[in-house]
Structure 1
């Protein structure tokens, strides 16, 4: 349990830091947790962490939620979650690990593409629907749809306060919707909930560090560091699964 406790503490630390700093670390958190929990149950261990930080976020940003924007992509996100739940039910642990590696590489390549291409197409209705659907699949399978949802919201010309509030509520609603699906799949159990509790000290420390050191982080350099570490994690999933 000593090594598992270290992994859980590290996952909590990174989750808290990511939620209250510049984000973008979702692709890294799950592979780290899978060092000790190499299967889909790792998703269920992370979900309570995200809901705790989501509650903290929505309590901080209660006003100026762009509900019309949310209503454009949330229904398709729910559909994506529903479709992904059937996929999760039909694969074993080894297949899940390989699929996760593919998803991480895809998200990294998408981020690289969008760094150098215009994203004005995100304002079109079909983009909202597709981002919602694929985001629902990614969040259900990897808890890492933040870049997709953030990309869509950034192109809606929201002011900073509205963007932050809308983003916080989007993640909170989606993560709550995922709860019954993880329960029905047998992923969310007393054992995974107990493991989630071990992450809380790291989560609080990470949140404190992320909140107070946000201004000292170079976002561009940090983004590339996370991409490199996520790519290495994906290679580890492919080679050693």
Structure 2
């Protein structure tokens, strides 16, 4: 079996995988986006994304099953068409778009939204767009950025967090949403030649950490107050945006 042997990679990858699992299992994935930048400290970013994708798919299986009684199929039917469109666009542009530009855009968007929510400011939606069109916009952006950098969390959270869903309903449906998104992403990643033997072997080495992180996140989720949960989610979103901009600069 082939796998990455650089010890410095594992110093970054082990906490990255655990952090992604905790975030996915208990906190709506807010800090999961940090996994690829952390791994990219030791390996190229496209390779880091390729190693993380099978691990994310495993986390999604564990998390989705744990939260399945709380799935909202009506909500998911609203979210998935735009996500599929975004994945397709990301597939077409994967070799052409600058990761730096992407990190800057998503980072700024995440920071501005998180600061607005933490400050208690209520921004009115003056677009007068129907709900399905707003959902399609944010989920398309989520699918697009998820394909390029596993950074689909901030756009979908910008759409869902203001709805003030029950914290368990929010995490349950985000977990299933990203399960479907990540499994769909296997197709473009395979076609682009990113799921080679070395990357898959490395993912297999790190795979045992995936359920550990998810179940730790679930354990924390059950012990945190809902108001605190949302505040933590906004803080996680803020930290994510800072990290994305830091990586870009």
Q: State the TM-score, normalizing by the size of structure 2.
A: 0.79
Q: Against the structure 1 CA distance between its residues 222 and 122, is the aligned structure 2 distance closer, same or farther, given a 3 Å change threshold? A: same
* Cα displacement (A) at 1:178: 0.6
Partner residue, 1:54:
60
1:102-117 → structure 2 map (5 Å cutoff): 102-115=105-118, 116-117=121-122
Kindly report the root-mean-square deviation, in angstroms, between the aligned alpha carbons of the 2 structures.
Answer: 3.0
Please give the per-residue CA displacement for 1:141-184, whole angstroms capped at 9, x wherever unaligned. Answer: 22122233244345567656654443222111111111000111
Q: Deviations over 1:175-220 (max 9, x none)?
A: 1111000111112221111121232343344334333334369543
**Which residue, 81, 95, 99 being the options, matches 1:96?**
99
Q: Which runs of 5+ in 1 are unaligned?
A: none
- 2:80 is equivalent to residue 69 of structure 1: no
The residue that corresponds to 1:183 in the other structure is: 190
CA distance in 2, matches of 1:185, 1:167: 26
- Would the aligned equivalents of 1:40 and 1:96 in 2 still touch at CA under 8 Å? no
> What is the match of residue 173 of structure 1?
180
Distance 1:199 1:119, change over 3 A: farther
From 35, 38, 49, give the equivalent of 2:44. Answer: 38
In the alignment, the residues of structure 2 paired with residue 72 and residue 222 of structure 1 have an alpha-carbon distance, to the nearest angstrom, of 22
Is the alpha carbon distance of 1:149 and 1:230 closer, same or farther for their aligned partners in structure 2, counting shifts above 3 Å?
closer
**Where do residues 204-215 of structure 1 align in structure 2 (5 Å cutoff)?**
204-214=211-221, 215=223
* 1:20-50 superposed Cα distances (whole Å, 9 cap, x missing partner): 2223103322210111122222211111121
Answer yes or no: is 1:18 the counterpart of 2:23: yes
What CA distance in whole angstroms lies between the structure 1 residues aligned with 2:164 and 2:76?
Answer: 14
Query: 1:192-231 to 2 correspondence within 5 Å?
Result: 192-214=199-221, 215=223, 219=229, 220=231, 223-224=234-235, 227-228=238-239, 231=242
Q: TM-score w.r.t. structure 1 length?
A: 0.81
